[in-house]
């Protein structure tokens, strides 16, 4: 396993929102990819968007401006 | 074979539909079950199909497009999930058993009272009857968009206005019209649209769904795996997971998605126009034949169905002769439409239904007319 490092994690209420996020990021040249939701955030399963930790402000601004649906956005050690 | 049983299923599919199913069966993981490449590809495919269906039907939120196996499952989810026990529901004589049986079950088990807008001998209804049947307990109107027996199309804009004026839910069975006629959920005030994927949409069997209006909650018909919130004892409340317990028919949905691309390319308007022209060609041909009785009103909006009988011949025997002697596939009998057969007076004889698709040709229609003419010659 790689050493832990900070990452920006966006979570969603459902899978369609997660897939919509992937499309949104592609269209807006935002970095990252879908990953299984980290256990530190939510026990169980589902998808989350992982992006560089220093992009929180950019993601928050772009997502809110576009009305992108998400449950939470935060930086955690992964 | 000349396939004229498209109201049962469109047997001939666009080639991209078949290719998409084969590709999915060799590459697709389980949608909403993991984040590896093949699972994500499945989730993307399912999401794309949701978006295309939302666009086709004018559904505001793709996540309010729910996938099921067929219209019957969709109608069971809608009818059992949205209609309160002890309330009153208005339906019509044009309905298929996929509407009738869930309603009859609610009547028997939940004390729901039912009223039916009657059909006349031509299969037409009087829209004023909806208003006349409304009581203080009425909670919903559940109706087909078009009869699977006669093709009679109901005016959903008008019915939607009545439902809205009286604050009633409108649940629509679009089995015969999805992909074959324009449907606009907003303009028609539809609360829940139930559709199948394997008829007018030209997708694979085992696909279907419902579009649920934003803000409406339904008690799930089934509960189970959702791919999210695994430690929640209850089905997640978020759409679409709330109504999609268990693995979806991802392979079928991939095919349906390709079918939706095909529909967008050729357009529903072009399909409807071609099917209507072929239907009128057939109707004009068979209605002149002595001994043939054609059912329905061809001056009213309709889907591409012509239903007839020859003299007093058993409809099953006529359909069998068409198949064995002429290679023409039709559907005989009662068509799961008991109330309309009762209205037409055809419960004993049944009727022979010819239903037309985008892939039929004028030559096939003319051969079918000739076959009916030969069978109608009195011995």
Give me the residue spans of the domains in chain A: 6-77
pLDDT computed for residue A41 by the predictor: 84
What's the CATH number for A6-77?
A: 3.30.70
Question: Do B228 and A44 make contact, defined as CB atoms within 8 angstroms?
Answer: yes
CATH 3.40.640.10 in chain B: give the residue spans.
15-266
Q: A9 in contact with B at a CB cutoff of 8 Å?
A: no
Which band of pLDDT confidence, cut at 50, 70 and 90, is reported for residue B294?
very high
B2-10+267-376: which CATH number, 3.30.420.40, 1.10.3720.10, 3.90.1150.10, 1.10.1200.10?
3.90.1150.10
pLDDT computed for residue B166 by the predictor: 98
- The predicted model gives B86-90 an average pLDDT of 98
pLDDT computed for residue B222 by the predictor: 93
Contacts of A43 in chain B (CB under 8 A): 230-231
Q: A78 in contact with B at a CB cutoff of 8 Å?
A: no
CATH 3.90.1150.10 in chain B: give the residue spans.
2-10+267-376
Say whether pLDDT at B344 is over 90: yes
pLDDT computed for residue A44 by the predictor: 63
Q: A76 in contact with B at a CB cutoff of 8 Å?
A: no
Question: Do B63 and A16 make contact, defined as CB atoms within 8 angstroms?
Answer: yes
Which band of pLDDT confidence, cut at 50, 70 and 90, is reported for residue B229?
confident
Contacts of B239 in chain A (CB under 8 A): 14
pLDDT digits (tens, 9 = 90+) for B260-291: 999 999 999 999 999 999 999 999 999 999 99
pLDDT digits (tens, 9 = 90+) for B164-210: 999 999 999 999 999 999 999 999 999 999 999 999 999 999 999 99
Reduced to 3 states, what is the DSSP secondary structure of residue B196? strand
Q: Return contacts of B273-279, CB within 8 angstroms, 24+ apart.
A: B274/B358, B275/B180, B275/B303, B275/B304, B275/B356, B275/B357, B275/B358, B275/B360, B276/B302, B276/B304, B278/B304, B278/B356, B278/B360, B278/B361, B278/B362, B278/B365, B279/B151, B279/B304, B279/B305, B279/B306, B279/B356
Least confident of B63-67, B139-143, B224-228: B224-228
What is the chain A residue with the closest CA to B231?
A44
**Average pLDDT score over chain B:** 97
Q: A64 in contact with B at a CB cutoff of 8 Å?
A: no
List chain A pLDDT tens, one digit each, 78 residues.
Answer: 878 899 999 999 999 999 999 999 999 999 999 998 998 887 667 899 999 999 999 999 999 999 999 999 999 998
Quick one: fold of B15-266? 3.40.640
Chain B nearest C-alpha distance from A18 (Å): 9
What is the chain A residue with the closest CA to B45?
A19
pLDDT computed for residue B9 by the predictor: 98
Q: Select the residue from A11, A14, A26 to test the B interface by mutation, using most B Cβ atoms within 10 A.
A: A14
- Evaluate whether B23 touches B15 at the Cβ level (below 8 Å): no
pLDDT digits (tens, 9 = 90+) for B16-49: 999 999 999 999 999 989 899 999 999 999 999 9
Which band of pLDDT confidence, cut at 50, 70 and 90, is reported for residue B358?
very high
Helix spans in B176-326 (H): 250-266, 268-286, 315-326
Share of chain B above pLDDT 70, in %: 100
Q: A27 in contact with B at a CB cutoff of 8 Å?
A: no
What CA–CA distance (Å, rounded) separates B71 from B33? 25
Q: Select the residue from A16, A22, A42 to test the B interface by mutation, using most B Cβ atoms within 10 A.
A: A16
Nearest by CB to A47, which of B35, B236, B241? Answer: B35
């Amino acid at each position: 396993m790689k050493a832990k490092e900070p990452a920006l994690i966006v979570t969603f209420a459902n899978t369609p929102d997660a897939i919509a996020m992937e499309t949104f990021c592609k269209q807006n040249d935002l970095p990252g990819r879908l990953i299984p939701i980290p256990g530190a955030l939510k026990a169980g399963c589902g998808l989350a968007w992982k992006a560089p930790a220093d992009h929180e402000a950019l993601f928050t601004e772009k997502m809110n401006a576009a009305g992108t649906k998400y449950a939470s956005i935060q930086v955690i050690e992964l | 074979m000349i396939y004229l049983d498209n109201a049962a299923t469109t047997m001939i599919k666009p080639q991209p539909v078949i290719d998409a199913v084969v590709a999915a069966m060799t590459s697709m993981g389980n949608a909403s079950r993991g984040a590896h490449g093949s699972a994500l590809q499945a989730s993307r495919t399912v999401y794309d199909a949701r978006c295309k269906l939302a666009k086709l039907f004018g559904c505001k939120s793709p996540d309010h497009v729910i996938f099921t196996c067929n219209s019957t499952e969709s109608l069971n989810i809608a009818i059992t999930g949205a209609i309160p026990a002890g309330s009153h529901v208005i339906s019509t004589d044009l309905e298929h058993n996929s509407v009738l049986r869930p309603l009859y079950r609610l009547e028997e088990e939940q004390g729901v009272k039912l009223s039916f807008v009657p059909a006349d001998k031509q299969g037409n209804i009087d829209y004023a009857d909806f208003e006349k049947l409304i009581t203080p307990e009425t909670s919903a109107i559940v109706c087909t968009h078009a009869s699977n027996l006669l093709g009679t199309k109901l005016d959903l804009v008008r019915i939607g206005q009545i439902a809205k004026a009286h604050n009633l839910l409108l649940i629509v069975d679009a089995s015969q019209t999805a992909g074959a006629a324009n449907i606009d959920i907003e303009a028609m005030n539809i609360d829940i649209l139930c559709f199948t994927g394997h008829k007018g949409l030209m997708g694979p069997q085992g696909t279907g769904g419902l579009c649920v209006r934003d803000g409406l909650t339904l008690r799930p018909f089934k509960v189970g795996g959702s791919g999210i919130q695994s430690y929640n004892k209850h089905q997640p409340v978020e759409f679409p997971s709330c109504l999609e317990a268990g693995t979806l028919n991802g392979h079928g949905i991939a095919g349906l998605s390709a079918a939706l691309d095909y529909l967008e390319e050729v357009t529903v308007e072009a399909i409807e126009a071609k099917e209507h022209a072929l239907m009128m060609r057939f109707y004009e041909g068979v209605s002149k034949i002595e001994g043939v009785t054609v059912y329905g009103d061809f001056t009213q909006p309709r889907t591409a169905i012509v239903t007839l009988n020859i003299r007093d011949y058993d409809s099953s025997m006529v359909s069998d002769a068409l198949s064995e002697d002429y290679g023409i596939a039709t559907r005989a009998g009662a068509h799961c439409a008991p109330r309309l057969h009762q209205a037409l007076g055809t419960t004993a004889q049944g009727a022979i239904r010819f239903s037309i698709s985008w892939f039929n040709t004028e030559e096939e229609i003319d051969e079918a007319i000739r076959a009916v003419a030969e069978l109608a010659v009195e011995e």
